[in-house]
Structure 1
Amino acid sequence: MVLLSWIFVLPFDIPGQRSKKDTPLDLLKKRFAAGEISKEEFQERKNILQSS
């Protein structure tokens, strides 16, 4: 009984699944942090996202 309660109460992440959906801005920040886009590209795309 205690084990079952522990399993359902304990928060855990399943590998390969996100616990929340990333927003477009979150994804943009990750790409910038990973070096996939330049600072200029980041600022331009951020401005576009924020104006929508």
Structure 2
Amino acid sequence: MTDKDAQCREEHAAKVRTLERALIEGEQSGEPQPFDFDEFLARKNREWNSERRSR
């Protein structure tokens, strides 16, 4: 195995560990809450329009 191979393996392992931690954190965060995507977009559009007007 070359140094480059070892580096690639370590980078991959680090990404896997990060993903594992994120999954565990998500599982431990509690029950999922309802999410209204249309309301989310409407709110973001209102915020964006408000910011544009205040410039």
Normalised by the size of structure 2, how large is the TM-score? 0.31
RCO greater where, 1 or 2, for CA within 8 Å and sep 6 or more? 1
Structure with greater Cα Rg: 2
Higher helix share: 2
Normalised by the size of structure 1, how large is the TM-score? 0.32
